[in-house]
Amino acid sequence: MDTPTLNPLTESEIVAAVATQEAEAVALLSELVAQPSLLGDEMGAQAIMRREFAADGLRVHEFAIDEARLRDHPGFSPSIIPYDGRHNVVGVHQPVGPVRGRSLILNGHIDVVPVGTAGMWQTPPFQPRLDGDKLYGRGAADMKAGIVAYTLAIRAL
């Protein structure tokens, strides 16, 4: 049995809503790429996402990672970088009213790998470059585009 929703949309309505967001997607992805977020220094990019989640009316939670609570979890893997000062930012959408359904978690990481040899870059790594329908820059594909995609998908719905 289908779960009733507050605002049922057809597939064509969803596709149309997403299609109107291209410029917004490029702008947000460019802003994230321009924000260096190397492992251990992600808070600037996290602030952008906190702003976006709040602007979308999501409840925003920001919390420190409690390694001691995670240590006994079967999937725990210790970090090579201390968690101090590295917070998770979460946006929660809670429907209003009696409608109930399953939960959906959209998750991603905002840290990027180091730049490496600067001379190997055609343009500065944290300077987003649009070439046709592709945006280049450190973190553009992994994983900042994914974060933008799920943020705008929720917005479209």
In a domain, 4, yes or no: no
> What distance in Å separates the CA atoms of residue 145 and residue 121, rounded to the nearest whole number?
20
Q: Where residue 48 sits, what CATH number does that domain have?
A: 3.40.630.10
Mean pLDDT along residues 91-102:
82
Query: Does any domain span residue 1?
Result: no
Q: Examine residue 110 and state whether it is found in any structural domain, yes or no.
A: yes
Q: Which residue has the tokens 């399953």?
A: 102
Confidence at residue 84, expressed as pLDDT on a 0 to 100 scale = 86
3-state secondary structure of 129: strand
Q: What is the pLDDT of residue 6?
A: 58
- Tell me if 6 is assigned to some domain: no
β-bridge pairing 129-131 and 87-92: unpaired
Q: What is the pTM of this model?
A: 0.88
Q: Give the domain extent around 72.
A: 11-156
pLDDT in tens, 51-62: 999 999 999 999
- The total number of structural domains that make up the chain: 1
Q: Cα torsion for 90, 63, 65, 151, to the nearest 10°?
A: 10
H-helix or E-strand containing 30? helix 22-34
State the average pLDDT over residues 81-110. 87
One-letter amino acid for residue 43 of the chain: M
Mean pLDDT score, 38-60? 96
Residues 66-85 as b/e (b if ≥16 CB within 10 A, e otherwise) read eeeeeeeeeeeeeeeeeeee
Burial class (CB in 10 A: 0-12, 13-18, 19+), 37: buried
Q: Which region among 42-51, 56-65, 77-86, 132-141 has the lowest average model confidence (pLDDT)?
A: 77-86
Tell whether 2 is covered by a domain: no
